């Protein structure tokens, strides 16, 4: 599996295989897409495909989709899906769109892996960098991960965000900071939380500037690129305004994420906490949760300054646990980026435990949800407990990866400590 030389033909075959598998699942099991769309683990209020269809229906019938409590997704998705042939009549075009987005994400991962950035960034070269997986393996791991396949069949709009984030990274690595910023703006426009990825992405593109067009001062570089993000976002917002005719999409898309007014169950930690929260403390804890989510950005960016891609990966993991409406599509993106760090896997301490927790929750989550909602023999605590375990397992993975990366850095300073017992003071 390790280090295979990826030829163009093999990669094309891989993509073809993944596409055929998805198309087969779409067409051979006609009930499967709707079944997965209805799963709370895949569809959240801000990404659900069924809600997108409702928004599209209202949009096509000249009712503002934002003057209601169902549609909380970005306005530009509406004309995009309105351009496609009607889903009810020709669903295959929607299927093809989602398959294409998955393949684009996989190709971005392929390019990131082939660039060598995970093992050797501009400021730091890992002594273990040779022990890595090729882009082919990374792309295959992403494309054939059950989480990715389930996400693709369930068709949440979070796949667009994931694709934009990965392409922002690819552009940053290949020395195109403007492209990276534009891609990140799209991701932020679609789901808001990717805006928190801006600091590490800025550093990554600063480190990877092409020698000919390099800006020396980091402050100047940052100011320029923040300006790019702001102007692209401004453009996207004004296009949305033109499409919907009012600014009411802002509270309905981003406001819902900020205030968590829709408490639909999901794999995250927020929903049950705010179901049970006392009314007078609701806004306080909303602020605390958002502060907690954004607190990691600065700390990780500073501490792991030499490897910005690591920071991006860790932040994706943290978002997959702690953002307001997480789903397994965030998880599949995080796991795919974790696989870029094959070289630090030997330094990780809890891989078996994390793998077991992920398997355990993957199987018990749907079962407990069924017990609560359908069988009535369990209550909400069953599913809540599983989301807690899921969150703990993933946070263990995030911490473990941080540990492994930092130890890898430390062993450059202390080469004699490789394989020795260490502790932290």
Partner 1 sequence: MRQLFSFSLLSFFSLCFAFLATAADYHEQLVLRPLPLSALLASFNFRSNTTLSAFEAHNFRFFPRSLGQILQHAGTRELHLRFSLGRWDAESWGARPWNGAREGGTGVELWAWLEADTDEAADHQWLTLTNALSGLFCASLNFIDGTRTTRPVMSFQPEGDHPNATDTNTHLLYGVLPHEVVCTENLTPFLKLLPCKGKAGIASLLDGHKLFDASWQSMAIDVRPVCPPGGEGECVLEIEQTIDMVLDIERSKRPRGNPIPRPLPGHELHCDTSKPYHSGDTCFPADSTANQDWSLSQVFGKTIKGTCPLTDPNVPPVCLQVPDARSVYISNGALEKKNQDGVSRCFEIEPETTDFELLLPSPEDLPADNLQAGQEVENIVKPETPLLYAERSFTGHGQERGGVQTILRNPSPDKEVEFIYMESLPWFMRIYLHTMQARIEGTSPSDHDPLIQEVYYRPAVDRARGTQLEVRMRVPAASTVFLTYDFEKSILRYTEYPPDANRGFDVAAAVITILSPNKNDTRSATYNLRTTSLLCSLPTPDFSMPYNVIIFTSTAIALAFGGMFNIIVRRFVAADEGPEVSVGSLKQKLIVPLRRIFARVKPGPR
Question: Are 142 and 172 spatial neighbours (Cβ–Cβ below 8 Å)?
Answer: no
**What does the alpha-carbon distance between residue 161 and residue 139 come to, in Å, rounded to a whole number?**
18
CB of 106 to partner 1, least distance (A): 29
CB of 22 to partner 1, least distance (A): 24
CB of 419 to partner 1, least distance (A): 11
**What does the alpha-carbon distance between residue 298 and residue 292 come to, in Å, rounded to a whole number?**
11
Question: Are 361 and 386 spatial neighbours (Cβ–Cβ below 8 Å)?
Answer: yes
Any alpha helices (H) in 63-157, and if so which ranges?
A: 77-83, 91-115, 135-143, 146-154
Question: In DSSP terms, which residues pair with 120 in a beta bridge?
Answer: 125
CB of 78 to partner 1, least distance (A): 13
Q: Judged by CB, which is closer to partner 1: 54, or 114?
A: 54
Backbone angles phi, psi at 35, to 5 degrees: -60, -50
CB of 381 to partner 1, least distance (A): 5
Q: Judged by CB, which is closer to partner 1: 117, or 411?
A: 411
**What does the alpha-carbon distance between residue 408 and residue 414 come to, in Å, rounded to a whole number?**
10
Q: Judged by CB, which is closer to partner 1: 23, or 392?
A: 392
Helix axes 198-207, 308-322, angle to 10 degrees: 160
Q: Residues in the site for partner 1, rule: CB under 8 A?
A: 38, 40, 50, 53-54, 56-58, 63, 67-70, 261-265, 269, 271-279, 292, 295-296, 299-300, 303, 321-322, 372-374, 379-381, 384, 388, 391-392, 395-396, 398-399, 402-403, 406-407, 410, 414, 417, 420-425
**What does the alpha-carbon distance between residue 296 and residue 219 come to, in Å, rounded to a whole number?**
21
Any alpha helices (H) in 323-379, and if so which ranges?
A: 328-338, 351-370
CB of 188 to partner 1, least distance (A): 23
Q: Judged by CB, which is closer to partner 1: 219, or 422?
A: 422
Q: Judged by CB, which is closer to partner 1: 10, or 303?
A: 303
Q: Judged by CB, which is closer to partner 1: 50, or 131?
A: 50
């Amino acid at each position: 599996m390790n280090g295979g030389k990826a030829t163009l033909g093999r990669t094309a075959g891989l993509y073809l295989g993944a596409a055929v598998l998805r198309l087969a699942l779409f067409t051979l099991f006609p009930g499967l897409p709707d079944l997965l769309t209805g799963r709370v683990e895949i569809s959240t209020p801000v990404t659900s495909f069924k809600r997108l269809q409702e928004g599209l229906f209202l949009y096509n019938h000249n009712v503002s989709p934002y003057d209601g409590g169902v549609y909380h997704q970005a306005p530009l998705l509406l004309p995009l899906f309105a351009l496609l042939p009607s889903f009810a009549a020709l669903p295959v075009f929607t299927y093809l769109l989602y398959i294409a987005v998955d393949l684009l994400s996989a190709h971005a991962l392929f390019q990131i892996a082939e660039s060598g950035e995970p093992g050797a960034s501009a400021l730091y070269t890992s002594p273990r960098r040779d022990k890595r997986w090729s882009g082919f393996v990374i792309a295959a791991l992403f494309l054939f991960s059950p989480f990715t396949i389930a996400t693709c069949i369930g068709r949440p709009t979070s796949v667009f965000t994931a694709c934009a984030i990965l392409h922002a990274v690819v552009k940053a690595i290949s020395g195109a900071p403007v492209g990276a910023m534009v891609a990140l703006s799209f991701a932020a426009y679609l789901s808001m939380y990717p805006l928190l990825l801006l600091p590490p992405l800025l550093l990554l593109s600063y480190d990877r500037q092409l020698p000919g067009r390099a800006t020396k001062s980091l402050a100047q570089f940052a100011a320029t690129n923040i300006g790019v993000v702001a102007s692209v976002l401004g453009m996207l917002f004004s296009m949305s305004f033109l499409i919907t005719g009012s600014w009411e999409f802002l509270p309905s898309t981003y406001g819902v994420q900020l205030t968590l007014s829709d408490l639909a169950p999901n794999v995250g930690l927020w929903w049950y906490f705010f179901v049970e929260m006392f009314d007078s403390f609701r806004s306080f804890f909303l602020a605390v949760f958002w502060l907690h989510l954004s607190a990691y950005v600065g700390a990780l960016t500073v501490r792991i300054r030499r490897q910005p891609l690591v920071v991006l990966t860790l932040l994706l993991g943290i978002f997959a646990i702690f953002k307001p409406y997480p789903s397994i599509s965030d998880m599949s993106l995080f796991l795919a980026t974790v696989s870029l760090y094959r070289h630090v896997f030997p330094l990780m301490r809890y891989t078996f435990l994390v793998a077991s927790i992920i398997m355990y929750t993957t199987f018990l989550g749907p079962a407990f949800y069924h017990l609560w909602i359908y069988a009535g023999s369990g209550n909400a605590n069953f599913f809540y407990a599983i989301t807690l375990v899921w969150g703990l397992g993933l946070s263990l993975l995030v911490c473990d990866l941080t540990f492994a990366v930092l130890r890898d850095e430390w062993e450059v300073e202390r080469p004699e400590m490789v394989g020795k017992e260490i502790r932290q003071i």
